[in-house]
Chain A
C-alpha cells in the first residue's frame, strides 16, 4: 500500500509574463518502508515539492495523499496536527529550538500532541542516535552532526508515516554526512521507516532504494536501484 501518493501536483508562482511553473503535473507514489531519494539541480522544484508534501505550502492544483488522507484541502491547524502525527521533517539547517535541550527537542512533536512521555522510547532513540551523553545539551552546545541527529530523532519520535529530509547533509562535512545517511538508512531498516530524501548530491542519492530525478518541475526519471 502506498504511504504517499502525489497526483498531478502543480505549483505556479506569479502571474502574466512573470509566471513560474515550479511543479508541473508531478505524480508518483512511495510504498511503506521505501528509501527514496529525490535529486535535481538547484531550482528544479524539489524543495517546492517537499513543501507541498510536508503541508507547508498549498499546490495550485493536484493532490497529496498521505496514508490515505488527502492533505491539500486541510486547514492550517489540521495540517499542523497532521504533520506532528504523520510526518517527520529534517532540514538542512537542523531547525532546532535553541532554548530546548536535545531530549526536549526530540519529544517536542510528542508533547505538542499532548501525549505522555514514553521514557523507554526516548532512551532507545537517544541510544540509536548516539546522543545519550548529549541529552541535556542545548543545540548551541552541539556540533552540526549532533544537531542533525537530534533533528532526526525529532522526526522519528512519533513513528510517522514517512520522513521527509530536505538536504539533511547540506550543511555537514562528508564524514558526518555519511554518518547521517547511515543513520537514516538504519532507521529505515530497523523501524521499516519510509524515507523521502531530497538532495542534489548524486553520491548520497545512490544509497537510496529508488531515485527520482526532477528537473524544471517535472519528473525526469524514476529508477529503482539494484543492490
Chain B
C-alpha cells in the first residue's frame, strides 16, 4: 500500500469521532442522491408502462419532465453536501498540520500531501458510499411507496374528471444503473469536497508546518468600530465583527450552510402558500354535482383561410339537451337542474370599438393574430333561459351578452365589462371567414349570474347566451342529497343517449360522460400538492439537517482551532464572561448574515417561480412570514445551543497549555 494511503488510513482509524462524522455526512449525501435516483428510475418505469417502451413519440418531453426536477434536487443535494463534507476535511487537514510538517521535512512533495487528504476521503467513501446506497434505497422505497399510494388515489379520482381514462402505477424500481450513477455522483461529491482542503494542505510550506502556523487567511479589511454593534453587544461584539470580517473564509461555509437552510425553509413555505392559493381559488368554483357531456373535437387547418379549425365530432343538440334536462329533473319532485351548454370552438368575434370597452380590448392577448376575439355561444335549458331573459328584461328568444369577463392578470383576478352598453350586435366569424351577425338584445353581469355554471376558471372573453344551438359541452348542475343514488340515476339516463361502451370513449366513440362533484378536480390538485409537499418537505428536512450538521461541525472545529487565541485573550485580561460574549456575538453575527442571505435567496427564488405560476393561477407571491420566522429562529437557536455547548467545553481551558499550543 502507498505510504500516503497508509497514513490516511491511520488517520481514519485514530480519529474515530471525526471519521464517524464524515462517514455520516457522506452516507447521508449518497443516500439522498440514491433516493432521487430511485425516484427517477421508478418514475421512468411508470411512464414506460403507461406510454410504452422508449416513452413513445414525446419521449424527450417526458424525460425532461422527469430529469429537470431530479437535476434541480441533485444540484441542491450536491451543493449542500460539498459544503458540509468540505468543512469536515478542512478541519481534519488543519489538525494534521504537524504531520504534514514532518512529511514535508522528510521530503514529501506537495502532491503527496494532497494525496493523504484525498486518500482519507477515499477510505471513508469505502464504507460511507455503500451505507448511503443502502439507506438511500430505503428512503427511496419509502418515498416511492408514499407517492405510489397517492398516485393510486389520483387515478381513482381522475376517472371522474379526465375525459380519457388512464392508470398510472408508481412502483418501486431500481436498477444497477441507479446504484452506479448514485455511487459515481457521491464519489464526485467526496472528491470535490476533499479536493479544496487537499490543495490547501499541499500549499502549506514546510516552515509553516514545523512552526505549526496555519496559512493565515485573515485579510486586512478596514473594519471600523460599529457603534450599533458596540451598543448592542459591547466591545466583544466589535471584536467578533472584526473576526468575522477579516476571517471570512473560516465562517463562509457555516454561513452558507445556514443560509441555504433558511432558503430551503422559505422555499417550502412559499411552495405551500402558492399551492394553497391555487386550491383556494379553485374552491371558489363551487361544489355542485355535475353531469357533463363533452364531444371530442378535431383540430385542422382551414384550407381556404389557413386558420385553425375545430370540428366538433359529436355536438349535442339543444333538443337532446332539453330532453336530458327534463329527465334529470324527474329524479325527485322539485329537483332543480340547471343545464348549460357551450360552443367555444366555432366562432370568434370581430372587435367593435364602438360597442366594446377600451379596457376590455386593451387586455394583453385579447385580440389574436387574425384580429379576432375568442367567443362562446352559451345555451341554457329553456326554463332557466326564460328566467335569464326576464332578468335581462328581454323577450324569450333574445341573445344576451354576459357583460363580465374575469381573467387572471399576472396573478391577480380582474373583471372588466366587454361592452360599454352600446353593443347592439356582434359579428361572428368562423375559420372559413364566414360571417354571422347576431343581434344583442340584452346584457347580464356577473352579479346577475350567481350560479357557478357561468363562472369558470378560464372564461371566454365574449359570451353570448343564445336561445338554442348545438354545443360541444353540456353540463347539468344540481345538488342532490344522495350523491351515489343520483350518480346512478344520471348514469342510467346518460347511457340511454350516450352509452359509454369502451374504456376510452372519448377517443373511440367521440365523446365522454362524467358524473361527479365539482370538487373532485380540487381533490386531484390537493393530492398533487400533498404529494409534492410530503416529498419536498422530506427532502428539505434532510437537507436542512445536513446543513445544520455542517454548520455545527464547522463552528465546533473553528472554536477548537482557536483555543490558543482565547487563551491569549484571557492572558491579556479578558474575563470568561467577556470571552463567552465575544464567541456568542460571533454566532449571532453569523446567524444574522445567514438570515439576510437566506432571506434574500429564499424570497427571490420563489418570487421568480411565482412568475410562472401566476400565468396559470391568480396567485401572487406572498412572503411566508411564519416559515421565515421559524427558519431564522431555528438557525439562531441551533447556533446559540452549539456555541453554548462549545463554550462549556472551553471552561476547563488551561491558559498555559493552550498558549503553548502553537497554532495562532
Contacts and interface: CB of A to CB of B under 8 A. Distances in A.
B107 interface: no
Nearest to B234: A114
Nearest to A117: B225
A89, A97, A113: which has the most chain B beta carbons within 10 Å?
A: A97
Interface stretch (A59-67, A76-84, A184-192, A213-221): A76-84
Interface string A115-149: 00000000000000000000011111100000000
Nearest to B564: A95
B575 interface: yes
Contact of A80 (B235, B243, B565, B575): B575
B247 A99 contact: yes
Contacts of B484: none
Contacts of A85: 573
Contact of A113 (B239, B571, B573, B659): B573
Interface in B539-572: 564-565, 568-572
Contacts of B222: 136
Interface stretch (A32-40, A50-58, A201-209): A50-58
B656 A97 contact: no
Chain B residues touching A, majority SS: helix
B608 interface: no
B576 A112 contact: no
B572 A98 contact: no
Contacts of A51: 656
A111 B565 CA distance: 17
A108 interface: yes
Given A77-B577, A80-B576, A112-B578, A95 B656 contact: no
B218 interface: yes
A161 to B, nearest CB: 13
B416 interface: no
A77 B575 contact: yes
A81 B570 CA distance: 9
A95 B235 contact: no
A101 interface: yes
Q: How large is the interface on A (under 10, 10 to 19, 20 to 34, 35 or more residues)?
A: 35 or more
A140 B577 CA distance: 28
Interface string B645-657: 0000000000110
B218 A84 contact: no
Given A112-B235, A137-B220, A97 B573 contact: no
A97 B565 contact: yes
B573 A99 contact: no
Nearest to B240: A99
A57, A95, A99: which has the most chain B beta carbons within 10 Å?
A: A99
A174 to B, nearest CB: 19
B242 interface: yes
Given A57-B656, A77-B576, A138 B246 contact: yes
Interface string A74-110: 0011001111110001010101111111001000110
A138 B573 contact: no
Interface string A20-38: 0000000000000000000
Contacts of B247: 98-99
A101 B664 contact: no
Contacts of B659: 56, 91, 95
A98 B220 contact: no
Given A93-B662, A98-B565, A140 B218 contact: yes
A51 B218 CA distance: 30
B216 interface: yes
Contacts of B655: 56-57
B219, B235, B573, B576: which has the most chain A beta carbons within 10 Å?
A: B573
Given A57-B656, A100-B242, A104-B242, A95 B575 contact: no
A77, A83, A91, A98: which has the most chain B beta carbons within 10 Å?
A: A98
Interface of B: 216, 218-220, 222, 235, 239, 242-243, 246-247, 564-565, 568-578, 655-656, 659, 662, 664
Closest 6 pairs (CB-CB, A-B): A84-B573, A140-B216, A95-B568, A99-B246, A77-B575, A83-B573
10 contacts: A56-B656, A80-B570, A80-B574, A89-B571, A93-B664, A95-B564, A95-B664, A98-B216, A112-B578, A138-B219
